[in-house]
Amino acid sequence: MKKYFEKNGFVYGVSSKFNFGKWEHKIYKFTNYEAAQKWLNTEEHDFRERELCSKTKAIKLAGKKAVENVNN
């Protein structure tokens, strides 16, 4: 992801949780790579999975609308 960030100046974070039979995703956009890494390594207490990814992967996970409406 570091190379993607260096090329594009941003990276997406996706927080995913399997809840009552379906996945729920929350999208974050980081323009600071160190902040993205800190977010990635922060533990949540509700069994969420976190990953840093490209815009294409974020759309695949959460949908185009969710990625376009990210406010970070």
Domain regions of the chain by residue span = 2-68
In the chain, which ranges are continuous DSSP H helix? Answer: 2-8, 33-40, 55-62, 64-68
Residue 10 has pLDDT above 60, yes or no: yes
Beta bridge partners of 12: 29, 53
pLDDT digits (tens, 9 = 90+) for 17-41: 998 999 999 999 999 999 999 999 9
pLDDT of residue 71: 72
Q: What is the reported pLDDT for 38?
A: 95
Band of residue 69 on the pLDDT scale cut at 50, 70, 90: very high
Alpha-carbon distance of 16 to 55, in angstroms, equals: 16
Q: What is the pLDDT of residue 45?
A: 76
